[in-house]
């Protein structure tokens, strides 16, 4: 039961925040390229899903899973995208991501007059609160190395 990593993207595709807790394998490309690839993949998945869907959707793409991990996705109406990779035992992390948005991002970044002007999240408080929150999740447990 674990959380691997978390990305936060803004509506233009810039990665605002990234942190990893239990990542075993790097992507083999530089971090910048990885952010772009991740954003591009999500953008394509959203467009794919909207065309492919047999019925009209309200929330759209929620998550996908492979044989080893699950990617959870949450997008706010303002275009902010929260992406979290966890292992397969976590079935729904949507509330977690919503909590990160409303209780951490909005409280600590949006309401901070100093942080709102710069695009990337430089707030120490945000990083430490987010880290504490993730570690406190019921499904987070650092695996023995």
Partner 1 sequence: MVIFSVYVVNKAGGLIYQYDNYVPRAEVEKTFSHPLDLVLKHHDEKVVVSFGQRDGIRVGHAVLSINGVDVVGKNTAEGKDILEYLKDPSNYPVSIRFGRARLSSNEKLMLASMFHSLFAIGSQLSPEVGSSGIEMLETDVFKLHCFQTLTGIKFIVLADPRQSGIDALLRKIYEIYSDFALKNPFYSLEMPIRCELFDQNLKNALEVAEKAGNFGAGS
Residue whose CB is less far from partner 1, 54 or 113:
54
Distance from chain centroid for Cα 86? 10
Which tokens sit at 46?
Answer: 């959203």
Enumerate binding residues for partner 1 (CB under 8 A): 4-5, 20, 22-25, 27-28, 34, 37-38, 41, 44-45, 48-69, 71, 85, 87
Q: Which two tokens stand for residue 112?
A: 């901070």
Q: Please report how close the Cβ of residue 25 comes to partner 1 at its closest, in angstroms.
A: 5
Tokens of 79: 């275009």
* Cβ 136 to partner 1 shortest distance, Å: 20
CB of 123 to partner 1, least distance (A): 24
Q: Which of 83, 86, 97 is nearest to 40 (CA)?
A: 83
Q: How far is the CB of 134 from partner 1 (least distance, A)?
A: 14
Could you give the 3-state DSSP secondary structure of residue 89? Answer: coil
CB closer to partner 1, 41 vs 106? 41
For partner 1, the closer of residues 19 and 112 by Cβ is: 19
Closest CA to 76 of 105, 56, 55: 105
Looking at the Cβ atoms of 66 and 117, the one nearer to partner 1 is 66
C-alpha pair distances (Å), 16 with each of 6, 57, 73, 98: 11, 27, 15, 17
């Amino acid at each position: 039961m674990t959380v691997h990593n978390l990305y936060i993207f803004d509506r233009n595709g810039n990665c605002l925040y990234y942190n990893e807790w239990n990542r075993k394998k790097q992507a083999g490309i530089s971090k910048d390229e990885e952010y772009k690839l991740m954003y591009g993949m999500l953008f394509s998945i959203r467009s794919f899903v909207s065309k492919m869907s047999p019925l009209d959707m309200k929330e759209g793409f929620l998550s996908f899973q492979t044989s080893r991990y699950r990617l959870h996705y949450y997008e706010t109406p303002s275009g902010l995208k929260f992406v979290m990779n966890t292992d397969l035992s976590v079935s729904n992390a949507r509330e977690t991501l919503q909590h990160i948005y409303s209780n951490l991002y909005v409280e600590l970044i949006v309401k901070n007059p100093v942080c709102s002007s710069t695009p990337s999240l430089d707030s120490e408080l945000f990083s430490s609160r987010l880290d504490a929150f993730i570690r406190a999740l019921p499904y987070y447990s650092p695996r023995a190395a």
